[in-house]
Every structure is written in structure tokens, then in C-alpha cells.
A and B are shown apart, each in its own frame.
Chain A
């Protein structure tokens, strides 16, 4: 019961603390695309892959007292930071979700900024297209972000590294 909730707590616990709702959304989406078993459904919103289900789940976990949400004032906007609470740790201990490869990927992603993760998640969203087409999509759909060819190359390289990390402990995931 509540296994999908436990997976999200596990991810936040493994990452330590995740600063920003956008960052959290993109991290879970990327992890899902790396074949980690997250069930939340993502669709392409105006600014990239986004999951209403994940938003709802996070809200529930905060209500349950398993996640801590702190609203921080940034320059011109508010940012929400998420971390696991004591009862959250107790709840997590009732589920067997040990995924060392996931932890490594999450720690790595959490060290990246939200802008870059937005680019990485968009590249993954269009993973059935050729690289040139993906770049074209990014320049058109995310023109305001002003991503460069170099950043897109970095995103591809980053995805390759993440896939290697994800495959390290999970032979069924292609590196």
C-alpha cells in the first residue's frame, strides 16, 4: 500500500534535499526515462515534461507529514525545498526499495541546476527523434531559454553518463 508514494520519498531521501518544484519534476522524469520504476504520468506542457500526478503525490506526502516543504524567497520568486521527515523515514523503512544505482543518479542530478535538467528532460522527451531534429525542437519550443548547441551536446553526454550509472547495478537497463 502506498508503494508509489514510498518511491518518491525514497528518491528525495536519496537525493538529500531537492530545491525547487521544477527540479523535482525533472529529476523524477529523467529517472523514469532511465527505466527506474516511477509510475507518475508525464505529458509535455508548455515548458517541458510535467506530471500532475507527481504534484498531487508530493502534496499528499507533505500532508501525511512524511515530507517537509520549505518555501524560500529567491530573487523575484519563491522556491520550495523538499526533504524527508522522521515519520517519513519510518514509513520508508516499511518498504524494501533499495536501489543503489538510483541513488547515484539522483545525487548526480541534484548537483545540476534546474535549467540544465529542463534541457536534459526535453532531450529525453524527444528521444525518438534524430539529434538535429531534437535541437531544432529545443530552439523552437524553448526559444526563451536560449540554449546553445554546446549545451545540447552536454545534455546528450550527460544522459550517456547517467545511463551508465543506472546500468551499473541493474543489468536489465541498457547502458
Chain B
């Protein structure tokens, strides 16, 4: 029996608060979980800075990756196996892609990638194809197997049904993170009847379709996703922490480029600052390490770096006000920018517009943005219908992007100190703080 078909002598189970148990029987999956690159995901939070808003949100990308694997395993083993449209040869590939889909995420990856111009998908590919423990496990299956796993994750694999299991508008990735993030943040949104959805999923040539009788469970899933985005993922306090984190990284990079002598040398950041980060260096980066530097940098002599780190570590976040981008608001922003400079508060670090946007569900638009595969319902007579054509609830939010803009600033700096009191008062007035 080859490695790809090898089973453990006894099934292993991981206790999981969302799925109760995660079941592992395949030797390949067990070996992948034990690799150093997969274990690194324990040190990267699934929700980045959200723990500063919802204190329970300390769960890691490892938790989520196991959850996505378990959902895909259940779809395949419990509902797809034996159906003529499903190719059993794709089972192990689908499981590996599900388990490894987030492998390349860096610490606080949203800000981290933005500041250092990195892409976690690039590193996922590098880890799977490079000189790593993960690659050695996958290569034991077949020399071409790592490439196939990387292609599924990159959505460029030829069998789109396999891709759609982890990347579509109703996939295992979303189904896990919505429930897991709801559980750990403690919010009451994010819950939907996953069992029902799994039972009505059917494999088709290009994607998973949903039996028409399961439409209401899918409606619930879409509404739950909508709620989670606005109540949790785009929470303004979380975004404030994200803004500060981004500015810390920008400041540290700027200081390094200007030859500033750090009291505590950021050795782990050197290749990032230079824009030439190797896979080896990248894999050393995790959130524990980042937080360690932030604590050290609180003692730096640069007042901006020190202040921003103090704010992040001790949760002294920026306040915010609504900002609706328009020509008038932009003029006001320019005025604020100039007043901040006069007040001795660098607007580059202390006056920030942040935007969040989400499209809850999208349908197919011929000729234009055909970028998202819609959810299709399978009717009793075998016809396929796009979800928003059948569901009035989904139709009401389909294709409607919701965007939110906020202006962040340190209210404490605008109120304290005897200097520049008139200018600060003008700023407070413009920000409608008084």
C-alpha cells in the first residue's frame, strides 16, 4: 500500500469547540499536522487585532485550518463519496489543500502584508513547493503532488469542483471561520445550520451546488456572514488597533531606512525592511515575536515609535469619527492635516482614514465583473438556478457593496498639554469633539 492510501492504525481525534471532534485517519494528514510550518500557525491569531475588542478572540490559524479540513473531510466522506460526479482520486488532494490553505499567513497579516508589500498566498506556495517539512511530506505522495496542492489553493487547478470546496461563496473556509469566530468572540451572530447545508450539497462538474430544499439554510448562512462582517470583522475598535499596528511597522521601517540607531535592534525585521525576505526569515515571523519587539520599542528614544507601541501594547487606541469621502470632506481633511502639523502632531502617523467594504453575495454579470462564482440551486427537475433568482432575501442584498470609512486620531493628544491650545481647539472643533 502506498503512502497516499496509508491509514493510521487507530483514528486520531482533536477536541474542537466548533465541530466537537476533528477526525484524522490518513497518515499524510497526520504527518502534515506535525510539521513545523503547520505548527507555526499556532502562533498566529485567526483574527489579528480583534482580541483587543473581543477578548475571547485569541484562537489561532491552526484551529481554523483543522476546522476547514474537518468540513471538507465530512463533505467528501459523508456526502460526496460514491456519487458519479465526484472523483474519489481527488480526496487526498482536497483534504491537504483544505488543511494547508492558510499556511503562508504572516503575523497580523493584514497590516504586515500592506507595509512590507507581501502576499501570504505567495508564501503558501513557497512553503508547499520549497525546502520545507510540508514539502517533504507531500512529495512522498508523488513528486507532482505539492504542485497540485498549491494549484488548488491558488484557484488555478483544473478541477474547479475541488477548488470550490475551499474557495467559493459557500465553501468550507467561510463555513468554519464564521462559526469559529462567532464562538471565540462570543457574539450571537455567525450561527447557521451547517449540518443542513452539508446534507444538501451536491457535486457538479464545475462547482458544488445546493439542493433547492436547502435554500433557507443558505439564506441564513449569507445573512450570518453579513452580520459577522459588520459586527466583528469591521469593528471600528479593531480597525483602530490595526491602524496603529500599521503605523508602528511604517515607523520602524522609516527609522531603519534613515539610519536610526535602535536601542533594541530589530534583527528579525532587517530583510523585511530591505524588501528581500527569504522563506527562512519569513517562517521565523510570528505574533509572539512581533509583540516582543513592540514591548521593547516602547523604550525607544523616537517619540513616535515609542508612543505607538505603548498605544498598541496597552490598548490606548485612537478614537474615530465618521468620514464620508466627498470633495468637502477631503478639503476638511487637508485642513486637519495642516493643523495637525502646526500642533506638532505628525499627521502621517496620527490622522488616518480607514475604509472597509464588503459585498455579502454576488451574482454573475455577463461581460463585466464575472469574478465570483455564484451559488447555484439544484431544482427537483434537475435544473440549476442562481440563488438570488430564487431567494428574495438574498436578492435584496445581492451585488450591493457596503462601505464604511472612518477617520482615526489620538483624542488624548488633542486635549493634553499647555502648548498649541488654540490649534488643538480648532482641530477638536473640526472633528466635532466639542
A residues in contact (CB < 8 Å) with B: 1-2, 20-22, 39, 41, 43-47, 50, 52, 55-56, 59-60, 63-66, 74, 76-80, 87, 91, 126, 137, 140-141
Contact = CB atoms under 8 A, between A and B. Distances in A.
A63 B355 contact: no
A79 B368 contact: yes
A63 B324 contact: yes
Q: By CB atoms of chain A within 10 A, which of B333, B357, B401, B405 has the most? A: B357
30 contacts: A1-B337, A1-B347, A2-B353, A20-B368, A22-B369, A39-B114, A41-B113, A43-B121, A43-B155, A45-B155, A45-B371, A46-B160, A46-B371, A46-B372, A46-B373, A50-B371, A55-B401, A56-B357, A56-B403, A59-B357, A63-B326, A64-B326, A64-B327, A77-B367, A78-B368, A79-B367, A80-B368, A137-B156, A140-B158, A141-B158
B330 interface: yes
B326 A65 contact: yes
Chain B contact residues, majority secondary structure: loop
Nearest to B405: A60
A55 B359 CA distance: 11
Contact of A46 (B119, B155, B158, B355): B155
Contacts of B333: 1
Given A60-B355, A66-B327, A77-B365, 19 more contacts: A22-B369, A39-B117, A43-B121, A45-B155, A45-B371, A46-B160, A46-B371, A52-B357, A55-B369, A55-B401, A56-B403, A59-B357, A64-B329, A65-B326, A76-B366, A77-B368, A79-B368, A140-B158, A141-B158
Nearest to A126: B156
B401 A59 contact: yes
The 10 closest A-B pairs by CB, nearest first: A77-B367, A45-B371, A64-B325, A56-B357, A140-B158, A50-B371, A77-B366, A65-B327, A63-B325, A87-B327
B155 A76 contact: no
Nearest to B159: A140
A96 to B, nearest CB: 16
B206 to A, nearest CB: 9
Contacts of B405: 60
A21 B401 CA distance: 15
Given A63-B325, A64-B325, A141-B156, A47 B403 contact: no
Given A39-B117, A63-B324, A64-B330, A44 B155 contact: yes
Interface footprint category on B: 35 or more
A113 to B, nearest CB: 12
A138 B327 CA distance: 43
Contacts, number: 79
A39 to B, nearest CB: 7
Contacts of A50: 371
Chain A contact residues, majority secondary structure: mixed
A74 B367 contact: yes
B156 A22 contact: no
A53 to B, nearest CB: 9
A29 to B, nearest CB: 12
A55 B369 CA distance: 10
Nearest to A61: B325
B423 to A, nearest CB: 19
Interface string B329-349: 110010001000000000110
Contacts of A63: 324-326
Interface string B146-180: 00000000111010100000000000000000000
A140 to B, nearest CB: 5
Interface in B250-306: none
Contacts of B401: 55-56, 59
A142 B427 CA distance: 54
Given A60-B403, A65-B326, A140-B158, A41 B119 contact: yes
A76 B156 contact: no
Nearest to A57: B355
Contacts of A91: 330
Contacts of A47: 370-371
Interface in B350-365: 353, 355, 357, 365
Contacts of B113: 41
A2 B367 CA distance: 31
A39 B405 CA distance: 19
B116 to A, nearest CB: 12
B351 to A, nearest CB: 8
Interface in B103-146: 113-114, 117, 119, 121
Nearest to A139: B158
A67 to B, nearest CB: 11
